[in-house]
Amino acid sequence: MTNRLGLLVAGSVAEGLSARLDPTVAIEDVRLGKFVKIVGQKYEYFCLVTDVQLDSANADVLRDPPGDPSTVDVFLRQVLSGTTTYALIKLKPELMLANPAADIQFEDSDLVPRPARTIPPHFSSVSEATLADFERVFGRDDGKNHFQIGQPIDMDVPVCLDLRRFVERSNGIFGKSGTGKSFLTRLILCGVIKAGAAVNLIFDMHSEYGWSAKNEEGAEVKGLSQLFGSRVAVYTLDMESSRGRGVKPSGEIKIALREISVADIALLQDELRLHRTAVESAALCEDKLGDDWVARLLDMSGDELTDFANQEGGNHASLSALRSKLRLIDRLPFVERSLSQSTLDQVIAQLERGQHVVLEFGRQRNLLAYILAANVITRRLHDLWVKKTERYWNTKDEADRPRPLMITIEEAHKFLNVDAARQTTFGTIARELRKFYVTLLVVDQRPSGIDAEVLSQIGTRITCQLNDERDIDAIFTGVSGGSHLRTVLATLDSREQALVLGHAVPMPMMVRTRKYDPTFYATVGGDDGAVILSRARRYEEIFGVDG
């Protein structure tokens, strides 16, 4: 059954199409961003509603409109409605696909949705897209290649991400605070983990991905390790806090001073309130003192520092200022002078084996700790993945092909702002696409803070409500048809709705985010929902319901 909306009356490829709404369709039910289908003679066109307008066939009616609805003029209104007065919907054709009813030999390329380059003829029928249409365009959630991220705002059919395409690029989840970014991130990570599309490392600044988190009503929601059992390991930078919340982490991460490089210091410029010359001084130290430069600088006596500055041509005041800032790092509880054995190696080995890792920050949720740890760890991983890729290029042996690694970071603009993006491994990863099989999932409430070049490399953008004009501009940099999508974005609710566009979807789509709740838990982590539920219950038996 088709739900007819109207028929096509005007339009152009450049400007989009206009359809006249059937008199039986209530104009108040047609909202921006609605997904509709136009059946042409050769093709079916999938379009988004970009505007709804009132129009009339006779200007006289507008000059002498019917009176108050409470009077007999109700009848007049009804007479006019749909004939003299009517509604137009403006449509932007996004995709075209062979019309199965057409008696034509189609080429293979016509059988998959592709960008609309032509338009259907006059009076083609416009209807609401059906479940089958959605499946043809967005695919079907099969637990493998496609993952349902939500439903259209006004329908109850699945909208899916193409997971293979999703992990091919770095991706972004944007929206102001409280719009549902973390919930969306959890959902998508579940989809990626279940399908085995990539191995994940999650820098969990607010400790809400690994074990349970709370929703706004204060009820518990499950974390990834509760849903996926041993496939997701939780590590922590703050064992006490993790234990206090009933989490049993696989280990506590420590970072040795010698793992800290000048690039990390440069990134911490704001957090440490460093003077501009500090980075130069740090570079000098690293150059002259070697890998152990931080510890050696920290240990210098006043005289030694003076000698060092004189001998190496450094600025004494700057070196001394740098040293006092480095003390702040030295004092971080997870930073050690030296480490006999490194849990970081263990984490890396797990990721290499395809086991997902959530790294909790516990009380170390200040930006200094977060940026430092995330940057040090990511640099090591990236170096390793580059080596793996190069080996694979040499051997061309499938067994050597690195596993795709996806790194999730919140507060992404801290790592990817204009200055940082040039210096950090995160910037490198975002720019390399996935040449070395590493991509980012950036989660951020301030996309305008992210370097434009990095943003332009973001494959799929999932955007919840944003208010700041600069942030909205940032989302649409390099997106064709951005102007009409802006109006669509402006109609999103303040929570649990998002505009999805880019590499993993054939056309932009507005969705109500899938609920992250027990019904969802039952669909992830193995194919048997009952197993998951029983496993979840078992956790509760062992650790208690609040555990």
In the list Mg ion, ligand ADP, none, the entry touching 113 (Cβ below 5 to 8 angstroms by class) is none
Q: Which of 88, 12, 6, 90 is nearest to 48 (CA)?
A: 90
413 binds ligand ADP (CB under 6 A): no
178 binds ligand ADP (CB under 6 A): yes
Identify the residue among 496, 504, 507, 508 touching ligand ADP (CB under 6 A).
496
Size of the site for ligand ADP (CB under 6 A): 16
Six token digits for residue 10: 């005007």
Cα separation, 222 vs 224, whole angstroms: 7
Kindly indicate which of the ranges 48-56, 138-146, 513-521, 531-539 contains the residues binding ligand ADP, using the contact rule CB under 6 A. 513-521
Identify the residue among 68, 108, 156, 216 touching ligand ADP (CB under 6 A).
216
Six token digits for residue 267: 């990134």
Q: Which residue's CB is nearer to Mg ion, number 321 or number 412? A: 412
* Percentage helix, strand, coil for the chain under 3-state DSSP, each rounded to 5: 40, 25, 35
- CA torsion sign for 423, 426, 428, 431 is negative
Q: Which residue's CB is nearer to ligand ADP, number 428 or number 491? A: 491
Q: Which residue's CB is nearer to Mg ion, number 12 or number 177? A: 177
Report which DSSP code applies to 401. Answer: P
Hey, is 63 helix, strand or coil?
Answer: helix
Q: Which residue's CB is nearer to ligand ADP, number 180 or number 404? A: 180
Hey, is 330 helix, strand or coil?
Answer: helix
467 binds ligand ADP (CB under 6 A): no
Q: Which residue's CB is nearer to ligand ADP, number 503 or number 514? A: 514
Q: Which residue's CB is nearer to ligand ADP, number 46 or number 174? A: 174
Kindly indicate which of the ranges 91-99, 181-189, 232-240, 368-376 contains the residues binding ligand ADP, using the contact rule CB under 6 A. 181-189
Q: Which residue's CB is nearer to ligand ADP, number 183 or number 370? A: 183
Q: Which residue's CB is nearer to ligand ADP, number 406 or number 498? A: 498
Q: How many CB atoms lie within 10 A of CB 160?
A: 24
Pairing of strands 220-221, 43-56: unpaired
Cβ neighbours of residue 255 closer than 8 Å, sequence gap 6 or more: 334, 335, 336, 344, 372, 373, 376, 377
CB 66 within 8 A of CB 80: yes
CB-based closest residue to Mg ion: 182
180 binds ligand ADP (CB under 6 A): yes
Hey, is 396 helix, strand or coil?
Answer: coil
Identify the residue among 85, 148, 179, 182 touching Mg ion (CB under 5 A).
182
182 binds ligand ADP (CB under 6 A): yes
354 binds ligand ADP (CB under 6 A): no
CB 455 within 8 A of CB 417: no
Question: Any alpha helices (H) in 167-313, and if so which ranges?
Answer: 181-195, 224-228, 239-244, 262-267, 277-289, 293-299, 302-312
Cα separation, 206 vs 202, whole angstroms: 11
Identify the residue among 24, 109, 177, 341 touching ligand ADP (CB under 6 A).
177
Kindly indicate which of the ranges 43-51, 375-383, 511-519, 521-529 contains the residues binding ligand ADP, using the contact rule CB under 6 A. 511-519
- Using alpha carbons only, give the angle 154, 521, 537 rounded to the nearest 5 degrees: 145
181 binds ligand ADP (CB under 6 A): yes
Cα separation, 394 vs 153, whole angstroms: 49
Identify the residue among 495, 526, 529, 547 touching ligand ADP (CB under 6 A).
495
Q: Which residue's CB is nearer to Mg ion, number 296 or number 495? A: 495
Tell me the closest approach of the beta carbon of residue 525 to ligand ADP, in angstroms.
17
Identify the residue among 35, 147, 183, 209 touching ligand ADP (CB under 6 A).
183
175 binds ligand ADP (CB under 6 A): yes
Cα separation, 335 vs 540, whole angstroms: 34
Kindly indicate which of the ranges 90-98, 106-114, 177-185, 194-202 contains the residues binding ligand ADP, using the contact rule CB under 6 A. 177-185
Q: Which residue's CB is nearer to Mg ion, number 114 or number 214? A: 214
Kindly indicate which of the ranges 148-156, 180-188, 243-251, 476-484 contains the residues binding Mg ion, using the contact rule CB under 5 A. 180-188
465 binds Mg ion (CB under 5 A): no
Cβ neighbours of residue 443 closer than 8 Å, sequence gap 6 or more: 172, 173, 174, 181, 182, 185, 408, 409, 410, 411, 412
245 binds ligand ADP (CB under 6 A): no
Pairing of strands 125-128, 146-152: unpaired
Kindly indicate which of the ranges 32-40, 172-180, 307-315, 448-456 contains the residues binding ligand ADP, using the contact rule CB under 6 A. 172-180
185 binds Mg ion (CB under 5 A): no
148 binds ligand ADP (CB under 6 A): no
Written as one letter, the residue type at 214 is: K
Tell me the closest approach of the beta carbon of residue 460 to ligand ADP, in angstroms.
17
CB 162 within 8 A of CB 504: yes
Q: Which residues bind Mg ion (CB under 5 A)?
A: 181-182
Q: Which residues bind ligand ADP (CB under 6 A)?
A: 175, 177-183, 215-216, 495-496, 513-516
